[in-house]
């Protein structure tokens, strides 16, 4: 294929009128040769449009020499739409409408592939069900047809903590606690055992433990990238997700972690069996659970690269 010059730009995406409760616009980015295959990259609820360069959130998969390389691909990233007041949660099908608007904004009739992990995988499935003509291939990582009941229960507790923080003027502390709770589900007991010592050091009931210090640090960093209200909107969106896999006919590569507590292997197997098109499933042994897609990006790239590049 003859490639033209590489361009990179951020741009505004106008939300469809029916989604104006989520705001008027969101932002997206596109990088790479204009005549290269268009690859959409979607991550978890904390993911954003920054994919290429020093601030890219998925190094090892996206970038120079990666499975998705802006020298060979046209790479589209998206800031998910969310209700800035925290009062409403978009469905993943509504988020798919936002992605279609982003495709229209760059003049793309369809994406050659969507690579979606966690929430991004849910949105990829929703788009493939609702707009099958807009995508050729799917790479779905650690996402299923519907949320697992245990995952919903955990996230509801997190949202209750954040809502209580907003009501009491302690929203950032509440968001930090919710993020720490989430990290316990993103990672695995085996990783915590390998990294930390259990127990607390003194008789203070709210003293800080070794693993607790890690969770506090991760939680305290979270308000820099996520507001409490946006968290409520997108966390609840995860639990609104519901698709019928039989309606999805695009070829799909499914990747999961055998240690994932949020999307257990049984859910990935069920999705692979129920999809209406050809599906290839890989369940990887990994210490990092749901966060495998971030911690093992090069492993995922070795699987996803050939699939993404297929004609």
User: Of 69, 83, 260, 291, which one is the catalytic site residue?
Assistant: 260
Q: What would the mean pLDDT of 245-274 be, rounded to a whole number?
A: 98
pLDDT digits (tens, 9 = 90+) for 245-256: 999 999 999 999
Host H or E run for residue 29? strand 25-33
Q: Could you tell me which residues are beta bridge partners of residue 116?
A: 42, 140
The residue among 41, 73, 70 whose CA lies nearest residue 57 is 41
Give the pLDDT mean for 48-52: 95
Q: Domain 6-148+242-309: what homologous superfamily?
A: Alpha/Beta hydrolase fold, catalytic domain (3.40.50.1820)
**pLDDT of 243 above 60:** yes
| pLDDT score of 3 | 43
Distance CA 184, CA 196 (A): 13
Summarize pLDDT for 127-158 with one digit per residue, the tens: 999 999 999 999 999 999 999 999 999 999 99
Helical ranges in the chain per DSSP H:
92-105, 119-130, 149-168, 171-186, 189-195, 210-221, 228-240, 265-274, 292-295, 297-309
Annotated catalytic residue 259: no
Q: Which one from 29, 118, 176, 259 is the annotated catalytic residue?
A: 118
Per-residue pLDDT at 262: 98
In this prediction, residues 172-176 reach a mean pLDDT of: 98
- Region 278-283: mean pLDDT is 98
Could you confirm whether 69 is annotated as catalytic? no
Q: Measured between alpha carbons, how far is 92 from 97 in angstroms, rounded to an integer?
A: 9
113-127: average pLDDT: 98
d(CA 83, CA 19): 10
Query: Which pLDDT band, with edges at 50, 70 and 90, does 1 fall under?
Result: very low
- Encode pLDDT of 181-197 as tens digits: 999 999 999 999 999 99
Distance CA 263, CA 259 (A): 9
Read off the pLDDT of each residue in 58-73 and give the average, rounded to a whole number: 96
What number is the average pLDDT over the span 206-233? 97
309 is an active site residue: no
Q: Order across the sheet with 74-78: list the strands.
A: 6-14, 25-33, 74-78, 38-42, 111-117, 135-141, 252-257, 279-284
Q: Which of 6-15, 200-209, 241-250, 256-265 has the lowest mean pLDDT?
A: 6-15
In the numeric block, which tokens belong to residue 5?
A: 């010059």
Check pLDDT > 90 for residue 5: no
Residue 2 in this model has a pLDDT that exceeds 50? no
Helix or strand holding residue 9 (H, E): strand 6-14
**Out of 73, 97, 241, 290, which one is annotated catalytic?**
290
Q: Is 229 helix (H, G, I), strand (E, B) or coil?
A: helix
Q: What pLDDT shows up at residue 273? A: 98
In the block, tokens 């010059």 appear at 5
CA-to-CA separations, 25 to 16, 78, 80, 108, in angstroms, rounded: 9, 11, 10, 19
Mean pLDDT of all residues in 277-283: 98
Q: Report whether 142 contacts 271 (CB < 8 A).
A: no
Q: What is the pLDDT of residue 35?
A: 94
Locate CATH 1.10.1740.110 in the chain.
149-238
Other Cβ atoms less than 10 A from the Cβ of 84: the count is 14
Task: Please state whether 280 falls in left (phi above 0), alpha (psi between -120 and 50) or beta.
Answer: beta
Check residue 53 and give its pLDDT: 86
Instruction: Give the model's pLDDT for residue 84.
Output: 97
In this prediction, residue 242 carries a pLDDT of 98
- 3-class SS of residue 101: helix
In this predicted structure, the answer to whether residue 277 has a pLDDT above a threshold of 70 is: yes
pLDDT-based confidence at 54, cuts 50/70/90?
confident
Outline which parts of the chain fall under CATH 3.40.50.1820. 6-148+242-309
CATH code, residues 149-238? 1.10.1740.110
């Amino acid at each position: 294929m003859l490639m033209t010059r590489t361009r990179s730009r951020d741009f505004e995406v106008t939300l469809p009128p029916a989604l104006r409760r989520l705001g008027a616009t969101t932002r997206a980015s596109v990088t790479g040769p204009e005549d290269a295959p268009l690859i959409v990259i979607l991550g978890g609820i904390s993911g954003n449009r920054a994919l290429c360069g020093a601030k890219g959130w998925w190094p090892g998969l996206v970038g120079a020499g990666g499975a998705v390389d802006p020298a060979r691909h046209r790479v589209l990233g998206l800031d998910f739409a969310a209700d800035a007041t925290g009062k409403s949660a978009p469905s993943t099908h509504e988020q798919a409408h936002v992605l279609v608007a982003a495709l229209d904004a760059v003049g793309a009739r369809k994406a050659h592939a969507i690579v979606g992990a966690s929430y991004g995988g849910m949105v990829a499935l929703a788009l493939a069900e609702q707009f099958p003509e807009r995508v050729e291939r799917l790479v779905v990582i650690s996402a299923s047809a519907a949320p697992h009941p245990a995952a919903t229960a955990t996230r509801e507790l997190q949202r209750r903590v954040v809502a209580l923080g907003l009501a009491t003027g302690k929203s950032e502390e509440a968001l930090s606690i919710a993020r720490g709770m989430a990290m316990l589900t993103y990672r695995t007991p085996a990783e915590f055992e390998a990294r930390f010592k259990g127990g607390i050091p003194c008789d203070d009931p709210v003293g800080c433990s070794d693993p607790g210090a890690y969770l506090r640090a991760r939680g305290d960093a979270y308000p820099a990238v996520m507001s409490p209200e946006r968290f409520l909107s997108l966390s609840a969106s995860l639990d609104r997700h519901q698709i019928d896999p039989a309606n999805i006919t695009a070829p799909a590569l499914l990747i999961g972690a055998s240690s994932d507590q949020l999307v257990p292997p049984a859910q990935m197997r069920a999705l692979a069996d129920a999809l209406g098109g050809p599906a290839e499933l890989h369940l990887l042994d990994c210490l990092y659970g749901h966060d495998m897609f971030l911690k093992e990006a090069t492993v995922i790239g070795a699987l996803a690269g050939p699939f993404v590049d297929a004609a």
